[in-house]
Structure 1
Amino acid sequence: MEDVAVRSPAVPTRTTDVRADEPTGPRRLRIIAVLGALIALGPLTIDMYLPALPSIGADLGAPDSTVQLTLTGTLLGLGLGQLLIGPLSDVVGRRTPLIAGTALHVLASLACLIAPNIAALGALRVVQGVGAAAAMVVAMAVVRDLWSGRAAATALSRLILVMGIAPILAPTLGGAVLLSTSWRGVFGVLAALGAALLVLAAFALPESLPPQRRRQPHFAPVLRTYGTLLTDREFVLLLIVAALAMTALFSYVSGSSFVLQQQYGLDQQTFGLVFGAGAVALIGASQLNVVLLNRFTTMRIVVSSLAVATAAGLVMIALTTTGTGGLVGFLVPLWVVLGAMGFVMPNAPALALGLHGEAAGTAAALLGACQFGLGALIAPLVGVLGNDGPAMAVIMTAGAAVALVALAAMVRLSNRTVPAA
């Protein structure tokens, strides 16, 4: 029964448009490198200003929980932007929305540079998130345009490796910028990086969606497509799994600067290094995932990883609540949780997107919107619960545990509807 439960949910076999001309060799590596650089714009936008969160509050006279709402605004923009840009990319192709969205990100970053108060900064961060959403949803859709099945999961793992450089470098880069300027300088650097990626998008990424595969430019079909996706119970359950898996990452992003700097006394530069270590755990797991895919099914990896994340999260709750082990007692189980999510993050989206290759842009948009929409809710929740280690541990563990329950429901549903492989 276990093998059936693990194999049969790999229902992306329903997709009928598997391509025979999937990029391989140097061309594959080049495309993944470009996509990784573009998709990194989102993590850079989220993470680079993390070391400055306490100083933003002091400069603009805002409490910590209000400052965290600027992060919520970014995540909200990323979610809403993907809902709009994903279907648009299915109609007009991938390049035009990508270039327009990246340009919007550059303009919003420049406006953040001169934001007069916390309300203006929060609103501009929403616009900035919308711009960054273009790169993220288009990159996911391009992967589905060019690869399918296990090849898509492998490509996403490589994509996360390239994208993972951003969360490692972003807080450290932000801390370095803060050595010579204020938090406003961080947004100047983001504008410059966005401009460089705009040039890359314009000249280095070919169109992956030919005209004959594009959808009709009508609003009603878009709504019908969303309706089709949301009535597919297997897709919805995988959507929930993918979104909840991101809870751990967003809890870490939202609360880490306060927990590590205020509770454990790290300075801005040391925080950047410790934050990067967590990203290393996530990235290392995502690359080991490529090896494991040669031996285990995608579903088996996701199930096992969520179980490990839940167990490690429970340990983290116990250690942080009792104060056992200090900083080490917080970081070790935290890194285990992040490492486990490094296996879930490429595999759950690959399973979900494989169900609807005929609407990859819209499916990727819905996937991203759910992930970042949930992140927008999680970011202030860490602050509301206290901005401390136990608060972060509880939210991360709850996300992993509920995702595991959703995955079990998906397994039972698939066993009833899909013959064992």
Structure 2
Amino acid sequence: MSAGGPQPTSPYRPNAKYVLLLGSMTALPAISTDIYLPSLPDVARDLGTSATAAQLTMTGMLIGGAVGQLVIGPTSDRFGRRAPVLVGIVLHVITSLLCAVAPGIIPLIALRVLQGFFNASASVVAMAVIRDRFVGSDASRLLSRLMLVIGVAPLFAPSVGGVIAGEWGWRAVFVALAVYGTLLWFVVWRRLPETLPAERRRGPGLRAALSGYRSLLRDRHFLALAVLPGLSVAGLMSYVVGSPFVLQEGYGLSSHQFALLFAVNGVGLVAGAQVNAALVRRYAPVRILRVVLPVSVVFSLGLFAVGATGAGGLPVLLVMLWIQLALVNFTPPNASALALGRHGAIAGTAAAFIGSSQAGISGTISPLVGVLGGDAFAMTAVMAGSALLALVVLAFGTPAYRAGGWGT
């Protein structure tokens, strides 16, 4: 018996190829974001627009992803997992190529919204496939392993995107995204099995989709768990959108130094996910959450103190930032596994709700960094606020801190 009590297990055991496949699917939205980051100044300059308008091409993709998941999740519960993801990736490839020839900022923003909508198919189907075959700690452990694959995006994508844009221009970045999508489509077509048999699929039409979402909205415990990944990613995205200005303009780092530090912090994200994958072998996911979230609040408040006062300078800021980012990836896999476990019959809809909430919450909170001034104070304040709000949601929205409630 584990230290967290007996855990539900699955007869399936994913091999490395299976993890790599699902990780590559889940990483599609992240790669579409991170590889494009270094091109933002070039986009603004080339299209004759402002930095704020160029940043809307990032926000637009998040919004498209949030809406896309709400639509694609129920679709995958109706038609199975393979068809929606194969169609979605094809449309991602087409929109990527259209982005490469966009004549102005407005068409580019619109195309990025569509790109986010379509590539959401890969991430939401990957989550649904996990719930089709895995539950409890098995699901949490697999989600943590996926973070190893997903973590490659912040490690290498900005550098790769910078090299591509430097050699061939920012439009070539979208050609690269089209190539990645094409390769992913062939791998999914060859390797992804259908995990939702016909007898378990839901009825057609809008009514079935709305019925699924109504059942989720009535489950307050599910809602609290579904919000937690979004608050965690909001802290991460606050770092992503704020760090170029904080580290390059505030602390005078070069673009190469920034790319290196971005990669180092990416190692922290991956390390945290792998530690979590080891912990869920012994401890229930809810027990990990009830310990990690208070620790995250403590470190985020320390990070905010450093950012607000400048105490210790850049070295202390970087150390605190690395620790806080390493704690980020404990929350999404555990909270998502617990939430999905409550609604296995509508796993696609549940995964869509979680993913949409994640994109919507992070897309709403992270722009506050710019609103508050875009400096170290602003970035660390939003990160600390996100961590504190996550702890409040866990404490009051779930039984994690109630007598006996954390034992399941």
Scaled by the length of structure 1, the TM-score of the pair is: 0.91
**Pair 1:329 & 2:316 matched:** yes
- Equivalence for 2:242: 255
Q: Which amino acid aligns with 2:89?
A: T
| Shift of residue 295, structure 1, vs aligned partner | 3.0
Q: Which amino acid aligns with 2:99?
A: C
**Pair 1:198 & 2:185 matched:** yes
Give yes or no for contact 2:141–2:278 (8 Å, CA) kept in 1. no
C-alpha distance 387-420 of structure 1, shift in aligned 2 (>3 A): closer
**Pair 1:166 & 2:169 matched:** no
Rounded to whole Å, the distance in 2 between the matches of 1:350 and 1:413 is 15
**Pair 1:37 & 2:24 matched:** yes
Structure 2: gaps spanning 5 or more residues: none
SS of the aligned residue for 2:12 comes to: coil
- Equivalence for 2:75: 88
- Equivalence for 1:281: 268
Give yes or no for contact 2:228–2:332 (8 Å, CA) kept in 1. no
Q: Which moved more, 1:165-174 or 1:396-405?
A: 165-174
Matching of residues 75-224 of structure 1 within 5 Å: 75-224=62-211
| Shift of residue 413, structure 1, vs aligned partner | 8.1
Rounded to whole Å, the distance in 2 between the matches of 1:334 and 1:297 is 27
Rounded to whole Å, the distance in 2 between the matches of 1:69 and 1:117 is 13
- Equivalence for 1:58: 45
Q: Which amino acid aligns with 1:39?
A: T
C-alpha distance 248-178 of structure 1, shift in aligned 2 (>3 A): same
Q: Which moved more, 1:165-174 or 1:139-148?
A: 165-174
Rounded to whole Å, the distance in 1 between the matches of 2:72 and 2:289 is 28
| Shift of residue 55, structure 1, vs aligned partner | 2.7
| Shift of residue 419, structure 1, vs aligned partner | 9.8
Rounded to whole Å, the distance in 2 between the matches of 1:28 and 1:240 is 30
Identify the structure with bigger relative contact order (alpha carbons < 8 Å, sequence gap 6+). Answer: 1
| Shift of residue 273, structure 1, vs aligned partner | 2.0
Tell me the alpha carbon deviations over residues 140-188 of structure 1, each in whole angstroms, 9 at most, x when there is no partner. Answer: 0000111111111111111111121122111111122133122222111
Q: Which moved more, 1:60-69 or 1:151-160?
A: 60-69
The 4+ residue runs of structure 1 with deviation greater than 6 A are 416-419
Tell me the alpha carbon deviations over residues 244-302 of structure 1, each in whole angstroms, 9 at most, x when there is no partner. Answer: 11111111222222322322333333322211211211111111112212332211211
- Equivalence for 2:377: 390
| Shift of residue 196, structure 1, vs aligned partner | 1.0
Rounded to whole Å, the distance in 1 between the matches of 2:401 and 2:162 is 47
Rounded to whole Å, the distance in 1 between the matches of 2:234 and 2:315 is 22
Scaled by the length of structure 2, the TM-score of the pair is: 0.94
Q: Which moved more, 1:269-278 or 1:34-43?
A: 269-278
- Equivalence for 1:3: none
Rounded to whole Å, the distance in 2 between the matches of 1:330 and 1:68 is 25
| Shift of residue 60, structure 1, vs aligned partner | 2.6
Q: Which moved more, 1:97-106 or 1:172-181?
A: 172-181
C-alpha distance 416-360 of structure 1, shift in aligned 2 (>3 A): farther
| Shift of residue 381, structure 1, vs aligned partner | 2.4
Q: Which amino acid aligns with 2:251?
A: Y
- Equivalence for 2:214: 227
Give yes or no for contact 1:53–1:68 (8 Å, CA) kept in 2. yes
SS of the aligned residue for 1:215 comes to: coil
Question: Residue 12 of structure 2: which of 17, 23, 37 is its match?
Answer: 23
Q: Which moved more, 1:175-184 or 1:260-269?
A: 260-269
SS of the aligned residue for 2:49 comes to: coil
| Shift of residue 62, structure 1, vs aligned partner | 2.9
Give yes or no for contact 1:71–1:254 (8 Å, CA) kept in 2. no
- Equivalence for 1:344: 331
Rounded to whole Å, the distance in 2 between the matches of 1:414 and 1:311 is 18
Q: Which amino acid aligns with 1:61?
A: G
Rounded to whole Å, the distance in 2 between the matches of 1:205 and 1:395 is 39
C-alpha distance 361-203 of structure 1, shift in aligned 2 (>3 A): same
Give yes or no for contact 2:4–2:282 (8 Å, CA) kept in 1. no
Give yes or no for contact 2:286–2:400 (8 Å, CA) kept in 1. no
Rounded to whole Å, the distance in 1 between the matches of 2:351 and 2:312 is 41
Q: CA RMSD in A?
A: 2.2
Give yes or no for contact 2:234–2:366 (8 Å, CA) kept in 1. no
| Shift of residue 414, structure 1, vs aligned partner | 8.4
Give yes or no for contact 2:9–2:137 (8 Å, CA) kept in 1. no
Q: Which amino acid aligns with 1:256?
A: S
SS of the aligned residue for 1:208 comes to: coil
Give yes or no for contact 1:76–1:373 (8 Å, CA) kept in 2. yes
Give yes or no for contact 1:51–1:257 (8 Å, CA) kept in 2. no
